[in-house]
Structure 1
Amino acid sequence: MAEVLTTVARRLRQPIPGAQPRLRFEMPPEHEQDSITPESETSARFGNPGPRMSSQHPLYVGFMGTVGVGVALLVYWIGSNTTQLLLWIVAALFIALGLDPVVRWLEGKKFPRAAGILVSVATLAVAVAGFFATLIPTIVQQVTQIVQQAPRWIQDFIDSDFFRSLDSQFGVRDRISQELEKFVNNPEAMGGIFGGVVGFGTTVANGLFGTLIVLVLSLYFLAALPAMKKWGYRLAPRSRRARVEALSEEITASVGNYVIGQAVVALVNATFAFIVMTIVGVPFAVLLAFVVALLAFIPLVGGLIAGVIVTLIALTAGWQTAVVYAVCYFAYLQFEAYFISPRVMQKAVAVPGAVAVISVIAGGSLLGVLGALIAIPTAAAIMLLVKEIFIVRQDNH
């Protein structure tokens, strides 16, 4: 029995005819481990590896192109869903660049930068709060007057001969009564009124929240502006860092000077308009002066729009009042264009008239009032870059 088992075991240990031995991965002896590298072991067993995939291989180009398109779509989706936030950031950065010259001037007067930032932002916040404090009571007063006088206006219109003739011919009174009854009994119409009221309240709340966010971001940008500039300059190559810093400083200084200059021009414009409105008797002079100041920030067309609006409102006090105000204000606009603006804006980068008009129209079409405000400094920055980089490069060829 033992001899039979021994014979079977010997036959099982013998390889099957035609079979290949299985490849075993065993660790080499310790004295050989240092001399064997993964590349040499792979080459010894499986041959030399092939060349790396070329960056122009169709598979590589297709994959990287797909990744690039995906990243672009992701950036577009993020930008389209954060448009309001981006506008707030741009507005805050624009305000910070405008207040930075004031802060640096206060630093020159031995003020700490923190104190200069606090004074600048507090002044801006007081101006905004003053505008809303003047605007809201005036609107409430006007709406109250309209509500109180509306029944009398309606009754006078009903008692007029014109309405009586229309009612006798077309039955206007019965038609109006039927439509009012349908409107009151229609739940969708009443829901639309309620939705409109809620939408108006939401708009006001979003406006106040956006104003608060812009002020807070302006404060942070003002505090971190020097550090932001330093980190931004370090992104440029060391050989070009000095030139990038010089161009950036000139652009930011130009934007700051433009904002300060435009604020001064708007203040002078609103002051003159308020004095004229007070003298000739235009109603709501204080509120209209704030409106003129806001519109005067829009270059080129802001003063013209403000003049037209105030002239139309002045017609309620009589055509003589409107004519006197229009003559005085539009004469001032000519004086401002030829004498005040050139002297106030002399430190800002000059922009040709045609470029300024095109920039304002394009900025207003893209971003509304904010786009119109930042259009001219943006155009000035682009012109400076073209002059100092592209034209210099072309002259050297």
Structure 2
Amino acid sequence: MSDLQRLMLAAAVLLVAVLVYLLHPILTPFLVGALLAYMGDPLADRLERLHLNRTVAVCVVFAVFSIVVATVLLITLPMIGRQLDILITRIPEWLHGLQELLLPFLQRTFNLPAGGWGFEELRENIGGDLKGAGNIVAVIWQRVAGSSVVIIAMVANILLIPVVTFYLLRDWDLLIAKLRESLPRTWETKVVDVSSECHEILGAFVRGQLMVMLALSIIYSIGLGIVGLDLALLLGLLAGLASIVPYLGFIVGIVAASVAAYFQFNEWLPLLWVALVFGVGQVLESVLLTPLLVGDRIGLHPVAVIFAVMAGGQLAGFVGVLLALPVAAVIMVWLRHLHAHYKSSELYDVAKP
């Protein structure tokens, strides 16, 4: 690659980054649509191999996906709303219980003074704020409904997602083919190889890891519901979503569920059942879900996942979060190739003792 080509490539990358940063307020429906199209493309390809027209195959995939999403939302949203209301009333009680349980232990163990901790003030302030909030859904709607512009923008974004998803899914293979044809001929082989590696990683992570997160959310929610926790669905979803980072979902879920179980039942025995639920979920994830749905193809270190998501959110909000893992996967693949190039270069040979 000549110096001019390197300069043009760097300028193109910089231009794309600047455009993403400047346009991130309107990019959310397009990125969500692209993500959904990327996830649905393999299924549409399979239907095409059954001699279905691409448009018909996309319509089938789109209809099935829409029915599943609508059914899940209609079932879960009212339940989540009720459990959020329960959580609002329980948080002051939990803070009071932690104050009664932990403070005497800390004072005895570390010989700490009795006053000046501020737990009582914290509990009163949080309790007052939460009681004033009332129903969480009503509060969100009141704040959103205060501006007609916000409502119009929100509705437009929601309606735009299925439109973008449909057209991207219908033309996905055509868009990929045109992108490949537009590459410089000397770059095509290398870019296609790198893109294939990125696709393998992203496919494993986006499709596989999301399926693992969904399965764990269902397992944890059902298990905690059998235990009798009032916040079973909320805690199960929390643990499932946190499972985007290995072992984080297990740690966050078992801690939160144990606190909820102890203060709901005022007994230690339910904590053993909570531990059993998360133990079974962890075993299923390690032995069955991850090997079957993800495999060992991700290659993204858990710390890299955390950093990428936090950095994306800091730089570009929700759009940054959506772009974080794809960008991290591409960077990781390029770093792997750069490392292999360095190991075969004269610089590495000179550096060897």
- TM bin, normalised by shorter chain, reads 0.5 to 0.7
Aligned partner of 1:220 in structure 2 is: 167
Q: Distance in 1 between matches of 2:317 and 2:195?
A: 26
| Residue 301 (structure 2) pairs with residue 352 (structure 1) | yes
State the Cα distance separating 1:306 from its structure 2 match.
4.5
Q: Distance in 2 between matches of 1:128 and 1:113?
A: 22
Q: Distance in 1 between matches of 2:86 and 2:218?
A: 27
SS at match of 1:125: helix
Does structure 2 conserve the Cα–Cα contact (< 8 Å) formed by 1:99 and 1:260? Answer: no
Q: Deviations over 1:86-137 (max 9, x none)?
A: 2332232223222223333333444443333233333333343234323443
User: In the alignment, which of 327, 340, 348 is matched to residue 275 of structure 2?
Assistant: 327
Alignment of 1:105-184 (within 5 A): 105-138=46-79
Does structure 1 conserve the Cα–Cα contact (< 8 Å) formed by 2:308 and 2:325? Answer: yes
Which letter does structure 2 place at the counterpart of 1:327?
A: A
TM-score norm. by structure 2 comes to: 0.62
Q: Distance in 1 between matches of 2:290 and 2:266?
A: 31
Distance change >3 Å, CA 125–CA 305, structure 1 → 2: farther
Q: Distance in 2 between matches of 1:351 and 1:144?
A: 37
Distance change >3 Å, CA 300–CA 232, structure 1 → 2: farther
Structure having the higher Rg: 1
Specify every segment of 5 or more residues in structure 1 that has no aligned partner in the other structure, as ranges: 1-67, 150-193
State the Cα distance separating 1:280 from its structure 2 match.
0.9
Q: Deviations over 1:36-65 (max 9, x none)?
A: xxxxxxxxxxxxxxxxxxxxxxxxxxxxxx
SS at match of 2:295: coil
Aligned partner of 2:6 in structure 1 is: none
Q: Which has the higher contact order (CA 8 A, sep 6+)?
A: 2
TM-score norm. by structure 1 comes to: 0.56
Q: Distance in 2 between matches of 1:276 and 1:142?
A: 16
Aligned partner of 1:258 in structure 2 is: 205
Moved more, 310-319 or 257-266: 310-319
User: How many residues matched?
Assistant: 280
| Residue 344 (structure 2) pairs with residue 395 (structure 1) | yes
| Residue 190 (structure 2) pairs with residue 243 (structure 1) | yes
Does structure 2 conserve the Cα–Cα contact (< 8 Å) formed by 1:98 and 1:257? Answer: no
SS at match of 1:350: coil
Alignment of 1:161-310 (within 5 A): 198-201=142-145, 207=154, 209-283=156-230, 285-286=232-233, 289-290=236-237, 292-297=239-244, 301-302=248-249, 304-310=251-257
Does structure 2 conserve the Cα–Cα contact (< 8 Å) formed by 1:266 and 1:294? Answer: yes
Does structure 2 conserve the Cα–Cα contact (< 8 Å) formed by 1:101 and 1:257? Answer: no
Q: Distance in 1 between matches of 2:77 and 2:151?
A: 11
Does structure 1 conserve the Cα–Cα contact (< 8 Å) formed by 2:80 and 2:234? Answer: no
Q: Deviations over 1:156-202 (max 9, x none)?
A: xxxxxxxxxxxxxxxxxxxxxxxxxxxxxxxxxxxxxx998642336
Specify every segment of 5 or more residues in structure 2 that has no aligned partner in the other structure, as ranges: 1-10, 90-137, 347-353
SS at match of 2:344: helix
Distance change >3 Å, CA 118–CA 364, structure 1 → 2: same
Q: Distance in 1 between matches of 2:173 and 2:81?
A: 44
State the Cα distance separating 1:366 from its structure 2 match.
3.7
Q: Distance in 2 between matches of 1:327 and 1:100?
A: 39
State the Cα distance separating 1:337 from its structure 2 match.
5.7
Q: Distance in 1 between matches of 2:156 and 2:257?
A: 29
Q: Deviations over 1:237-292 (max 9, x none)?
A: 11222332232233234312322211221232122113312321122545655555
Distance change >3 Å, CA 343–CA 281, structure 1 → 2: same
User: In the alignment, which of 66, 84, 87 is matched to residue 28 of structure 2?
Assistant: 87
Does structure 2 conserve the Cα–Cα contact (< 8 Å) formed by 1:101 and 1:256? Answer: no
Q: Distance in 1 between matches of 2:141 and 2:333?
A: 48
Which letter does structure 1 place at the counterpart of 2:229?
A: V
Distance change >3 Å, CA 373–CA 282, structure 1 → 2: farther
State the Cα distance separating 1:342 from its structure 2 match.
4.0
Q: Distance in 2 between matches of 1:208 and 1:322?
A: 43
Q: Distance in 2 between matches of 1:86 and 1:199?
A: 23
Which letter does structure 1 place at the counterpart of 2:58?
A: I
Matched residues, percent identical?
A: 21
Q: Distance in 2 between matches of 1:94 and 1:196?
A: 27
State the Cα distance separating 1:298 from its structure 2 match.
6.1
Distance change >3 Å, CA 325–CA 79, structure 1 → 2: same
Does structure 1 conserve the Cα–Cα contact (< 8 Å) formed by 2:238 and 2:249? Answer: no
